[in-house]
Structure 1
Amino acid sequence: MGASDPGFGRLLHTWRDRLAPADAGFTPAPGRRAPGLRREELAQLAGLSVDYILRLEQGRARHPSAQVVGALARALQLSRAERDRLFRSAGLLPPRDGTVGAHVPAGVQRLAARLGDVPIGVFSADWTLIRWNPLWAALFGDPALVPATERNLARGLFGLGAARAAVASARSERGNEAFAASIVADLRDAVARYPADSELDGLVQGLCAQSADFARLWATGTAAAPHTSERKTIRHPEVGDIRVDCDVLLVPGLDLRLVAYTAAAGSSDAGKLDLLRVTGGGAALAPVGPQPDAGFDSPGERRG
């Protein structure tokens, strides 16, 4: 398809004005006159430069990639119909049905933005991390510093790339083997639901080639309980071990998983989470979602 039409910039500006800063995880300053997000805030959320946002709105940047449009759609909390309209106005085909989706509805994004005292990450059906809040970054390290293609729980467990560090900091009380088997079982279910998804197939084939453990679990096809809720210990370099409950909440109809870590009120573990919330845990505090220079406008970014 061709270059974006002039309506693309108008849509960006209109939807940027529509989104309340608080719903995107920002605290509006007193006397703020902007009705919605500033360009700087949209740039932070989408992982793009402010200058590029300006050029898109003015129609001077005419060929945004599918990765860029997808990041903008998520940052603006668009509905599926609005996302598809943004893709078409950019001269691109919307994401195909029948593949693992990365669309996060506005309500889920607002939830992650407003529950700032709880580490929250939103994962797609193949356990790719799509969204996160600042306390998640403080607990596990800023995902924005990890290449987009590596932000996957299965890659962290079985792969050889940058995702391993964050996963290695967590210990499951039911045992790492059971935890790993549950993630493989989830991927097997995802393949059954999305047989035409070439990226999902590539993930599985790549992990089979890289990891003997993954290949063994995949080949046996042994039934395992899907990954839901459990207790974990997170080893943090600044505050030490934090014992937390990990709960996985499913978003009906969208095949998304919202993962939250909590500790009992008044416990030392809750105190450590509070400390990380204040200090940022050594990671740069940032609004929910992808951050500047995170590579989200590169070919490595996943689906829109």
Structure 2
Amino acid sequence: MDRHEFGAAVRQLREDTAPAAVGLPAGRRRTRGLRREELGDLAGMSADYVRRLEQGRSHPSAGVVNAIARALRVGRADYERLCALAGYAAADGQVPNEIGPGAMRLLERFTDTPMFVSDAAMNLVAVNKAFLALGHWELTGDPWEWNIAWRTFCDPFHRFQQSPAEATDHQSVLVAQLMSTRLRFPADVALAALVDELRSRSRLFDTLWRAPRPVTAYESSASFVHPDGDAVTLVGNLLAIPGDDLAALILTAAPGSADAARLAEIVDDAGEPAVIRVGRPDPR
């Protein structure tokens, strides 16, 4: 475990927790979130122990991790992350793949913006019609055809083009995400099979798995070559969806640019907006 990362995560969660959310009066406060004393009272430990945890000076037991998660009333995703950082497996080990109302609202509201939602194993769960309109995601019939990591390392898209630097960032994010997910869900058989297959089929993935690159950015740009021959350059931003352990990738063009105009044409030609559920939670 990395005590400092665990401590930083606890502090972030404490500061992000509204007092009212855990049954405490808000009152006048100089700082946001809960005080260490309040978290200690709720979790059954001293404020000094909470301080030592946040400073990385104490190793938490599994019971302490559970007590903090209960006290802060965190969602499943945050609980899994705390367990992973503390070096423990969570209570169960299957990657969640249900798309909640928050993620659905994102897809339904941004109808003119290409977007998809993926689970922690990098399987696409749902996409909007604007994303499919880009025309680059060819279906192959392969069991992993909707998995982002598989398509990147083992079956690349011909109409998705990146510079070497952008591709490096993209690959680093995918490997880091899968490594974190594998640690948090050690009992997920489908995830283990996916990682084993990636390591067997892709020398690059296996190299990065054994010696991962640092993640420097959670966005990258790429050119999408439309089937009609024209290309549009878009920037992808990866956003976490708290509570569901899902992520959304949003693709945008620079405002007022030729790419923005071309993207608008592509989306208009796609017809009525729609959300399509496409994910494969069990890729076997």
Q: What TM-score does the superposition give when structure 1 sets the normalisation length? A: 0.57
Deviation of 1:176 after TM superposition, in Å, equals 1.7
Who is 1:180 aligned against?
Answer: 171
Counterparts of 2:170 and 2:206 in 1: how far apart (Å)? 15
Change (3 A) 1:226 1:97: farther
Deviations 1:71-121 (A, max 9, x none): xxxxxxxxx9xxxxxxxxxxxxxxx94211111111211220221110010
Q: Aligned residue for 1:255?
A: 245
Query: Which is worse superposed, 96-105 or 114-123?
Result: 96-105
Structure 1 residues 202, 227: closer, same or farther in 2, change over 3 A?
A: farther
Aligned length: 194
Q: Which residue of 1 aligns with 2:230?
A: 240
SS of the counterpart of 2:165?
coil
User: Shift of the alpha carbon at 1:238?
Assistant: 2.0
| CA deviation after TM superposition for structure 1 residue 123, in Å | 0.7
Which amino acid in 2 is paired with 1:225? V
User: Which structure carries more relative contact order (alpha carbon 8 Å, separation 6+)?
Assistant: 1
Which residue of structure 1 aligns with residue 55 of structure 2? none
Which residue does the alignment assign to 2:99?
104
Residues 113 and 250 in structure 2, CA contact (< 8 A), matched pair in contact too: yes
Amino acid corresponding to residue 101 of structure 1 in structure 2: P
**1:155-170 alignment, distance < 5 Å:** 155-160=150-155, 164-165=156-157, 169-170=160-161
Distance 1:179 1:141, change over 3 A: closer
Q: 1:290 aligned to 272, 277, 281, which one?
A: 277
3-state SS of 1:289 partner: strand
Alpha-carbon displacement from aligned partner over 1:171-229 (angstroms, at most 9, x marks no partner): 15733233213211211111111111111110000111111111111122x34217622
Name the CA distance, whole Å, in 1 between partners of 2:134 and 2:194: 26
For structure 2, the residue ranges without an aligned partner over 5 or more in a row are 1-75, 77-90
Q: Could you tell me which residue of structure 2 aligns to residue 90 of structure 1?
A: none
Indicate the RMSD between aligned Cα atoms, in angstroms: 2.9
Q: 1:142 to 1:229 in 2, by over 3 A?
A: closer
Q: Which has the larger radius of gyration?
A: 2
Deviation, 1:158, is: 1.6
Report the alpha carbon displacement of residue 125 of structure 1 after superposing the two structures with TM: 0.6
Task: Compute the displacement of 1:165 (Å).
Answer: 2.5
Structure 1 counterpart of 2:276, one-letter code: G
TM-aligned CA deviation for residue 248 of structure 1: 0.9
In structure 1, C-alpha distance between the alignment counterparts of 2:242 and 2:204, rounded to whole Å: 31
* Residue 115 (structure 2) aligns with: 120
Q: Which amino acid is the alignment partner of residue 238 of structure 2?
A: V
- 1:269 corresponds, among 259, 272, 278, to 259
Residue 237 of structure 1 aligns with an amino acid whose one-letter code is: P
* Structure 2 CA distance for aligned equivalents of residues 109 and 146 of structure 1: 26
Q: 1:193 is matched with which residue? A: 184
Q: 1:173 to 1:142 in 2, by over 3 A?
A: closer
Deviations 1:283-303 (A, max 9, x none): x87721137xxxx8xxx7639
**Aligned counterpart, 1:86:** none
- Paired letter, 2:256: G
Distance 2:166 2:115 in 1: 22
1:264 deviation in Å? 2.3
**Contact 1:235–1:241 under 8 Å retained in 2:** yes
Check if 1:279 corresponds to 2:260. Answer: no
Partner residue in 2 for 1:34 = none
Question: Deviations for 1:214-268, whole angstroms, at most 9, x for unmatched residues?
Answer: 1111122x34217622232222232522122211110112221100011123211
Q: Percent identity?
A: 27
The answer to whether the 8 A contact 1:172-1:233 is kept is no
